[in-house]
Structures are given as C-alpha cells and as structure tokens.
Structure 1
Amino acid sequence: MSPTNRRSFLATGAALAAVPTVAALAGQASAATSTDLPDYAPIPPSALGPAVNSQGYYVGRIEKNLYWVTDGTYQSAFLTTREGVVLFDAPPTIGHNLQRAIDEIASANGVSNRVTHLVYSHHHADHLGASSLFGKNVVRIGHAETRKLLARDNDPARPVPDITFEKSHTLRVGGERVELAWHGTNHTPDNVYIHLPDHKTLMLVDVLLPGWVPFDSFNLNEDVPGSIAAPAKAMSYPWKHFVGGHIGRLGSRQDMVVYQQYVDDIIANVKKALAAVDPTPFFVKYGNNSWAAVKEYQAAQVAYASAPVIKKYTGVLAAADVYTASTTFIILESLRLDLGVDSQVHA
C-alpha cells in the first residue's frame, strides 16, 4: 500500500471510529450498501497528514519541545517542560492515546510525562471529552465563559477549569510561556487563541481546518460574522505552525490565506445570488405553502452561489463538493440576518 493510500485508509478508519454508526443510532442494521452512496471528488494528497501507528495515533514535533497528536480526524498538542507537561485539549477520539503519545516523547527525551496543566480551547465535548482521564491533580485553564458553559452542561468527562480569564492570560510553566487570548465570539462564545510565541505556533480550534473546507454548516458555527473575522485576527499573530483541532495535518500561513479566499468567494457569490435569483416562480408554484417556497428559493440561491466555489476549490481543498453548499447556506442567512444584506422595507 502506498504512503498516500495508507494515510487515506487510516484517516478513514479514525473518522469511522469517531462517528456513531447509523445502525447504532437506529438500533438495527442499515439496508444501505456502498453502491447506494454518492461519489465525491478524490481528496488532494496535500490535505493528508502522516500515517497513524498501530494504536491509532501519530505524534510529532512542531517546534523544539512542542508536539502535536492526531488520530487523523482530531488534534491535540502538548508542551514538555522541566516541571511537567502542558496539554492543549483532550479529544475523546484520541483518548488514552494522548498519554501514550506523551509517554513516547518523554521516554525518548528523558523528561517528565506527568500532565500538570490542561488548556481548554473551548467547551465542546469533542475536544475536551477525555479531560477527566487526567484526574483531579491537573490545573485546568479556560475562558470564563467556558467555565459557565461546562457548569451548565454538568459533564463529568469535562471538569470545569480551575483558572479562568476574560480577555487574556499568560501561562508560565517550567520556564515556558503560553499566551491565551479571547478576541470575541467565533465558532463558540468561548473559543480562544492559544499562542506559543517561542515555538512559532498558534492553536485556534474549529476555524481553519488545514487543507479542507469547513465541516457541515460552516463548522456548526455559532457566530458567523465572528468566524469570518477570526482568520484576520489569527494572522495578526506571528506564527509559522497552526493547530486547527481537526484533520490529520498541521497548517501554515498559506493555508489560512487559501481559507480566507474560499470564504470571501462564498460571500461574493452569495451577494450575486441574492440579486440574481428571482423568488417569483417559487411562490407562484407553492402558493400559501410558504415554507416550501422559501426552502426551494433558498436552495436555488445556494446552488447558484456554491457551484462556482465548488468548481474552483475541487482539487485544492478537500471535500469542497461535500460541505460547501451547507456552509454557503449559513453564510447566506448570516448576510441576510446579521448584516441586513438584501433586506427590503415594505413600501
């Protein structure tokens, strides 16, 4: 098996492990077969990361004593120090492999493998669901809103942070420095920028997924204007390496540039669609069934706006033909509702 095919196979296996099966959700075997499923464009080799090992993870150096861990679908990072290890997020799909990865690096370098601090990027369970594996003697750090949201969710797998901040916090451990900052809502109200200036690295989760288009509905976005603004804020930091929280490789500044252009292209085409697609046929067809009319009208707008973007980025960003339409719909609604684009006052 070639390295590229092996990476693809292992990444697929990790993705399947991370998502409940249809049979499990339905309580019965699925009747679908592979021949019933749609075909999508091949994944560009540039979107794929290194192969995971037999235990299902890959760990590699980012810069100096900063490392990253992935299962091909989720990412975490950790910093070894003379006082212990600082871990950044604890995705449950990686789970116990986080400690295995830390053990591997600590053994090779003769440093401590004890996790002393765990930094939360935001409150979502898919990035923090393995936090409890590290016990009660770990100092957890997160945004003040993260603490509120985790207290509300009351999930024992995600203990609330011990140290919180509103705008910024400098974490100093074992001679190392980590700068944490909140620059407004984006993917969630509490998503923070994690900057390691001495390691030329920025971690910002669920915004840029290097080499890939955003996940469904613009990464299940809670604040679309905030997320559209986030890349420019990220680029204001001096960094070389980027940890996005998902998929199997690190990112670069060029990845962020391509991502910004992708979003800008969607916005530009949505504005064209708002002006070009005539609603009249849809409301004539469906009469007093307003939801049917709106559904089909917006589907036509999304198709108009997304088609040229899909064509442009297929072969450039992985899964451009999979999730661009859903992201286009979310951006369309944000332009209408958040920014008032094409809002008309009845005469």
Structure 2
Amino acid sequence: MSVTDSLGRPTDRRTFLARSAKAAAVPAVAAALGGVLAGPAAADTTGLPDYAPIPPSALGPAVNAQGYHVGRVERNLYWVTDGTYQAAFLTTKDGVVLFDAPPTIGHNLQRAIDEVAGANGVSNKVTHLVYSHHHADHLGGSSLFGRDVERIGHAETRALLLRDNDPARPVPDTTFTDRRTLHIGGERIELAHLGTNHTPDNIYIHFPDHGTLMLVDINLPGWVPFDSFNLNEDVPGSVAAPAKALAYPWTHHIGGHMGRLGTREDMAVYQQYVADLIDGVKAALANVDPAPFFARYGDNEWAAVKEYQAAQTRYAAGPVVRKYTGVLAAADVYTESTAFVLLESIRLDLGVGSQVHP
C-alpha cells in the first residue's frame, strides 16, 4: 500500500499508521504535561527546531478510533497503550488483575478489558490493581475502578500516597517491603523492591509464567529517556536498574511509556546508551577547562558555572547523540539533559572530579 502524508510526502503503511497513532495520542501527551486542550488554536511554530526522524523500530501499533491499542503479551497477559503511556492486565478465573492506571488512558482501560473479556468469554471485573509506584501519571485513573478493588503496592507507595492525599489515587490496601508473590485466580505474580531507582517505591513486577517483566520509567523501549534522565530521583539506583532487570528471566518488557513492548535487546541497548553517557561525562570532567568561563564572567559565579557545565554537557552528549541517532528515538532531543543529570550525580554522588584545595 502506497500513501502520502498530510504534506504530500510518500510513506509506507506502517509509517502512516504510526503517525496516525501519534496524532491520536496528542491529547494524552498534553494532559500528561498538564496542558488543557480547549479546542483548535493557531500556534506560531516559526523558529522551532528540526529534529531527527523517529526510527521505525521505535514505533508501536496504531491506536484505534477510541485512542488505545490492546494486545496480547503472552496467553492471558495483555498490555494497553495510548501511544504515550502503558498499563497491563491479567484475565483470571476470578476476575482481572490490572497493573497501573494511567489517567491518559483513563476509561479506555475498562474498554480494553471489556474487548478482551468479551472475545474470550471471561470476566471483565477488575478485582485487584497493582501499583508500580506512586506517581500520578501512572496511577491517576485508579479511582475509576471504585472501592471494591484490592489495591496492592509497596509500603513506601502507601506512605507517599497518604502524604499526597490525592483522591484519584487511593492508597494500597495490601503492602509489602522487600518481596511478595501474589497468587490470584490461579496466576502467579512476583513483586520485588530492589532498592530505589526512579522513585523510592518503584518496583519490579515479574510474570514468571508469561515471560514478562514490568519495570516502569526506567527503559522506555526504543527511545532515549524523557527529559533529565526520566526525572529519576535516585540516579545511581536508576543506572543500576537495567542489570537488575536483566537478571530476571523474561522475553517481554512493559516499560510504562511509549507505543510498544520492549525486548532484552532494548534493555541492553539502553544500558549501553547510559554507559556511553557516563564515559562521556567522566571525560568532560577531565578535559573541559573551567578557567575561560570563570575569567569571562568574573564575580558572576552562577553564569560561569552555568556555561562551564553546559560545555561539559555538550562534550559528553555530542558523540552519544551521533552514535544513537537512528537507533533510539529522540536521541537529539533529550540526551543533553540526561547528560547534565548524570554529570551532577557523578560529581556529587560518586565524587568524580572533586578536588581538595591544597
């Protein structure tokens, strides 16, 4: 099938469907960033930068007319995406176990469950909801499932949700601290807290009978991390997370974001991307001379530091952007911001580059 896009450019069917999916996901992206789409409005895009094309390998299936895609992972484990966020669910003999409830998917979660349950003649009632971590962008649809649902999460998730007091995110009824194996409707789900990473409470959700690991907000399959290294609260813990993930036996990865499932190769590529940035940051700390910046700005310490660190960030990020453009989507968009976060962590957490005054 040969078609053209809205600008008359030739494109194949896969690319056309992927662009359609992204267009449908625009409201979800805007909502996730706190924007309100009141209706069409003219926008001045003059001067906006161009970015590298998205590799086809980063794109997932097109969403349907209601704005979601639901697909089978293995057997009775399914995933749902709006092109930007992801959730998962297990159908069991006793009902449905849902994993996360992103508000951008919202009521489409139940629609996806209804679709699968209707096709397979099983119950569509959500009986359990497992929280990956406390962030509202992954749990803000939890209240849609009412009070008659057992919510399960880490003990720190409960503490953080009690602090936040958000009615959209009811606190977990059942908690654990280190590990917990759930046996629900004849299915087995392994939950583990292996140290802090993206947040203090972010957990590993393993489906040993379905060859799948759900680890949210670490590796976004096919893409570089979101701004500032996914806003990770514990940078060394987040750097260590892929190795912990790869220690599990799994084939499929549910990363919580973007439009497709991940693979072990995706996790390894992401791990190498971060390692390359760390190498670049260490080289920048050793090779970028601060003297010209402090000489230029005199008493304005913050200006000198700002421009010095910007130079270090460019030094570290440049080779990585070139290496991963065409390999990971948006390598030219967010790599510099991730390099800056890694720079600060390597300086402050690891002490690399610190000098003791003689």
1:142–1:163: 8 Å Cα contact kept in structure 2? yes
2:28–2:105: 8 Å Cα contact kept in structure 1? no
CA distance in 1, matches of 2:204, 2:282: 30
**C-alpha displacement of 1:13:** 3.3
**C-alpha displacement of 1:243:** 0.1
Q: Deviations over 1:162-182 (max 9, x none)?
A: 000000111111100000000
Q: Which residue of the partner structure matches residue 285 of structure 2?
A: 274
Q: 2:17 aligns with which of 6, 29, 35?
A: 6
CA distance in 1, matches of 2:343, 2:174: 38
- Give me the TM-score of the superposition, normalised by structure 1: 0.97
CA distance in 2, matches of 1:77, 1:136: 20
2:21–2:61: 8 Å Cα contact kept in structure 1? no
Q: Which residue of the partner structure matches residue 347 of structure 2?
A: 336
Q: Does 1:210 align with 2:231?
A: no
Question: Where do 4+ consecutive residues of structure 1 move more than 3 Å?
Answer: 20-27, 29-32
2:30–2:36: 8 Å Cα contact kept in structure 1? no
Q: Which residue of the partner structure matches residue 135 of structure 1?
A: 146
Q: Does 1:284 align with 2:284?
A: no
Q: Deviations over 1:155-200 (max 9, x none)?
A: 0000000000000111111100000000000000000000000000
Q: How many residues align?
A: 347
2:31–2:104: 8 Å Cα contact kept in structure 1? no
CA distance in 1, matches of 2:267, 2:36: 36
AA partner of residue 177 (structure 2): E
Secondary structure at 1:10 match in 2: helix
Q: Which residue of the partner structure matches residue 270 of structure 2?
A: 259
Q: Which residue of the partner structure matches residue 306 of structure 2?
A: 295
CA 1:23–1:103: 2 relative to 1, 3 Å:
closer
1:23–1:30: 8 Å Cα contact kept in structure 2? no
Secondary structure at 2:356 match in 1: coil
**C-alpha displacement of 1:32:** 4.8
Q: Does 1:43 align with 2:54?
A: yes
**C-alpha displacement of 1:12:** 3.8
**C-alpha displacement of 1:89:** 0.1
Structure 2 residue runs of 5 or longer lacking an equivalent are 4-12
AA partner of residue 147 (structure 1): R
CA 1:24–1:99: 2 relative to 1, 3 Å:
closer
Structure 1 residue runs of 5 or longer lacking an equivalent are none
- Give me the TM-score of the superposition, normalised by structure 2: 0.94
Q: 2:98 aligns with which of 74, 87, 90?
A: 87
Q: Which residue of the partner structure matches residue 177 of structure 1?
A: 188
CA 1:339–1:48: 2 relative to 1, 3 Å:
same
**C-alpha displacement of 1:21:** 10
**C-alpha displacement of 1:10:** 1.8
2:17–2:61: 8 Å Cα contact kept in structure 1? no
CA distance in 2, matches of 1:107, 1:135: 21
CA distance in 2, matches of 1:240, 1:19: 32
Q: Does 1:250 align with 2:261?
A: yes
Q: Which residue of the partner structure matches residue 222 of structure 1?
A: 233
CA distance in 1, matches of 2:324, 2:33: 30
Q: Deviations over 1:6-46 (max 9, x none)?
A: 2123224314433259996799x988523321110000000
Q: Which residue of the partner structure matches residue 155 of structure 2?
A: 144
% of aligned pairs identical? 73
2:30–2:37: 8 Å Cα contact kept in structure 1? no
CA distance in 2, matches of 1:26, 1:207: 29
